[in-house]
Chains A and B, each alone.
Chain A
Amino acid sequence: MTSQLATSTKISWCPGCPNNQILVAFRKAVTELCEVGALKEENIVAAAGIGCHAKILDYLNMNTFNALHGRAIPAIEGIKAANDALTVVAFSGDGDSYSEGLSHLIHAAQRNSDINVFIHDNQIFALTTGQATATSPKGFKGLTRPSGSIEEPIDPLRMMMNAGATFVARAYAGEYEKTKEIMKAAIAHKGMSFIDIAQPCITFFDTRDFYKEHIVWLPEDHDTTNLDAAYHATKRDDGKIPMGIFYRADRPTFEQQL
């Protein structure tokens, strides 16, 4: 089934790039949802902005919308508003939606638009060969500040909870089965679904070893309905990086109220 969603376009990500795993996770998520009749392939629109993440669209044999840098989110909000039968997913990057198009991300959460936003968070502008983004750690040495960045990184999960997103999760591209399951849950959720996918850039900022050592998955009994608990669960004192679905809430969507 997966092959039906592939195009003949040759993949141009670096060999071994975790973006490949995000692609596989998404194809599998869609295939499985279609198999059980939860989705129809022609009713999916996959969108992206500009950056390495966006190449994913050329490898997806489905409806796609490759927006401008930072503008995939308003585009899919428009698509969803125009046709509520469609399921819309925007792939975006930390450069694409935490730096360039941040306001759209926040406002989409504020209005609880029934869209899915999957961020390929590699903590770097990779396609432009290595500059700091809004999630690069302080001190990161990029082309635009060779002596190290002087800005603290933003915290996307807490930011999205504050903004009103009704589905907030973090996944790791390297564990694509888990990523796939979170994607499926996000797509099934009615309202603004947000997944920050840690995606090491193996060429310009290789964090694979860091993540292997620091990932911890949320316990099964984590209460996803408690915003306060979800907020605090995103960070740990021991420096480990919690992964999983932190928060879920039912709220009327923007499109339902239009």
Chain B
Amino acid sequence: MDTVKQNIPVFTVAVVGAAGDGIKEGGLHLAELAQHIGCSVYLTMEYPSLIRGGHNFGRMTYGAREVHADHSALDAIIAMNSESVLLHLEELKEGAVVFVDAPHAEALKELSCKVVALPMMAAVKGAGAPHAAGPSVGVGAYCYLVGRSREEAEAMLGEVFGDILGGVAMNVSLAMRGYDAAKESGLMPKSELTVNGGCVHTGELLEGNKSVALGFLSAGLEFYIGYPMTPASGILHFLAKEAVTTDLTVIHPEDEIAAINMALGVAYAGKRVATGTATGGFALMQEAFSFAGVTEMPLAVAVSQRQGPATGAATRTSQGDLRFVVSAGHGEFPRIVIAPGDAAEAYTAARTALNLAWKFQTPAIVLLDKQLSESYQTTIVEKGAKVVTPHKPQTEGEYLRFRFADDGVSPLAFPGTSNAKVKATSYEHDEFGVASDKPEMVQAMQEKRWKKMEGIRADSRTCETVKVYGDSSAKDAVVFFGSTKGPMLEACKMIETPLRLVQILWMEPFPEEEVMKALDGVARIIDVEANHNGQLAGLLREKTGIVCHEKILKFNARPFDPAVLAAELRNKLSLS
């Protein structure tokens, strides 16, 4: 249980510009810098669905205590053009500093805040660096702003910059141009922005997608088959790289339907496999997901939500697909759905999903959202040895793929085994695996599959299905799931009223008892989620009868901002 620390400040910097300006790299370099000096960091990337132009920004909040989400109030901004700055005007704190590429400074001269012109693109051109290295100049200027000496800054950046955008030496040199320009501008360093590793964060900077990939690998992943779709592509890209140097096999086939059907073939042949996609891609996979149900195929699926319906806001976050995923696939069959709230939980969820899929021979989903998939945060992941939960092996006697069992789990054999005919079929079938639609067989097979739920429930109790933060005896409770956890924990720090924060991680099977225990004795429940209909509140009511008294719903395809959420919560709490 987190003890919520008050009064430890956090600071926020944004790198802004057009697509192609190196905004992501600039944001990551800032985040790595902050992590390097021992800060806790959260970095959000916002971008439209295009390759050049538009408005991209990376926003990074850091501090000497756990940072669970980025804040919108900016201490500084590194801008590749003036238009981007104007889009963030309302977010600038008093005394905020705007670093802007020199040719754009003139357009900002009316601003009341401090504008510092940096020779960003001039330095890039002079050095023959790639266009996207521009933000490196701003990163150097930021080192000056926070009061680091030139030598310190040079040394740190030498460790932070990677072998991209023209290489380490080139980017350090660009950054030093920014450092010097900031100093020459007469800007005074702001020592309050300096954080000297207050919380000495020992974790690594992880994005949710990479965390999911690492979680799958820790459970013995052998194959990953996926078709690219924002915001799940990061899993595919990371694993494709991993596959170059390891035994992992990664396939990117013609479409999502091929991806999941191939994955089903891989599982049938005995290899641990996962697929992953955005919710739109998962919509294409529905029939095959149902196939995994009837064939009792061990399959893990990472599903990342983005704002729908349809293509929707393609690169923006949402929690609007909870109900869709929980009831995915036609027909009734047992499945596991785990919705982690941060990168560390994403790792555990992926590991659990793949292992339980094999233990219980049924599909398991890790439910993500864009905000979790593509944001970076300093994360401590307990990476031990692989934990590969065994499947129930074939024993003596005639092999029946769908043999009835008390726990509903049949022995699993794979093609290539002598004396075992391994059958998989989309049709309802008998124990051997031959199609049958006899009423007694249909009923018996349905009962057999659902028997697994007892075992799954028992195993879920060894996992964190529900987490409580804040004051666990408070009369006012908030329920939430997924990436809303981050802004919720941040918002809580700004609220005086004691709050019981209840995060629900397991959506299927739903942890009824654990949730009821967590909400025991509350007088008021406020539901907070990023969708229009309050899907979690609906699920909670359906499963437990518990009714949320108030709802804070956000469905503009952007994550909650901690300060705004805190204000809304205070407003709800003031109601009697």
Contacts and interface: CB of A to CB of B under 8 A. Distances in A.
Contacts of B264: 67, 75, 78
Contact of A67 (B261, B271, B419, B433): B261
Interface residues of B, number: 43
Interface stretch (B363-371, B422-430, B462-470, B560-568): B422-430
Interface in A80-100: 80-83, 85-86
Contacts of B418: 42
A61 B421 contact: yes
Nearest to B425: A66
B421 A258 contact: no
Nearest to B290: A68
A203 to B, nearest CB: 20
A107 B249 CA distance: 19
Nearest to B433: A64
B346 interface: no
Given A62-B421, A68-B261, A43 B434 contact: no
Contact of A7 (B223, B249, B257, B434): B434
Contacts of B222: 82
B266 A107 contact: no
Given A57-B425, A63-B422, A63-B423, A258 B265 contact: no
A75 B268 contact: yes
Given A68-B291, A83-B269, A77 B254 contact: no
A11 to B, nearest CB: 12
A58 interface: yes
B258 A86 contact: no
A76 B264 CA distance: 9
A137 interface: no
A92 to B, nearest CB: 13
Given A45-B415, A75-B262, A64 B257 contact: no
A79 interface: yes
Q: Which of B223, B258, B267, B288 has the most CB of A within 10 A?
A: B258
Contacts, number: 127
B416 to A, nearest CB: 5
B467 to A, nearest CB: 36
Contacts of B415: 42-45, 63, 79, 83, 86
A185 to B, nearest CB: 23
B426 A68 contact: yes
B528 interface: no
A42 B263 CA distance: 21
Contact of B261 (A62, A75, A81, A258): A75
B433 A76 contact: no
A256 interface: no
Contacts of A7: 434
Nearest to B427: A66
A163 to B, nearest CB: 12
Interface string B272-296: 0100000000000001100100000
Contacts of A43: 415-416
Contacts of B474: none
A85 B268 contact: no
Contacts of A63: 415, 421-423
B435 A58 contact: yes
A66 B433 CA distance: 10
B251 interface: yes
B203 interface: no
A75 B425 CA distance: 12
A9 interface: yes
A43 B421 CA distance: 10
Contacts of B225: 78
A50 B435 CA distance: 12
A104 B435 CA distance: 25
Given A57-B425, A62-B421, A78 B265 contact: yes
A104 B251 contact: no
A130 interface: no
B253 interface: yes
Contacts of A66: 423-427, 435
B262 to A, nearest CB: 4
Interface residues of A, number: 34
A86 to B, nearest CB: 6
Interface string B183-217: 00000000000000000000000000000000000
Nearest to B243: A258
A160 to B, nearest CB: 15
A83 B265 CA distance: 10
A67 B264 CA distance: 9
A166 B575 CA distance: 73
B288 A68 contact: yes
A42 B416 contact: yes
A125 interface: no
Nearest to A83: B269
A65 B251 CA distance: 21
A207 interface: no
Contacts of B263: 78
A223 to B, nearest CB: 32
A225 interface: no
B263 to A, nearest CB: 6
Contacts of B259: 74
A226 interface: no
A81 B223 contact: yes
A82 B297 CA distance: 15
Contact of A82 (B269, B291, B417, B424): B269
Interface in A19-67: 42-45, 50, 57-58, 61-67
Contact of B266 (A57, A61, A82, A103): A82
A103 B258 contact: yes
A76 to B, nearest CB: 6
A254 to B, nearest CB: 9
Given A74-B257, A78-B265, A107-B254, A65 B288 contact: no
A58 B434 contact: yes
8 contacts: A43-B416, A64-B422, A64-B425, A71-B257, A71-B288, A71-B291, A78-B264, A82-B223
Interface of A: 7, 9, 42-45, 50, 57-58, 61-68, 71, 74-83, 85-86, 103-104, 107, 258
Interface of B: 222-223, 225, 249, 251, 253-255, 257-259, 261-271, 273, 287-288, 291, 414-427, 433-435
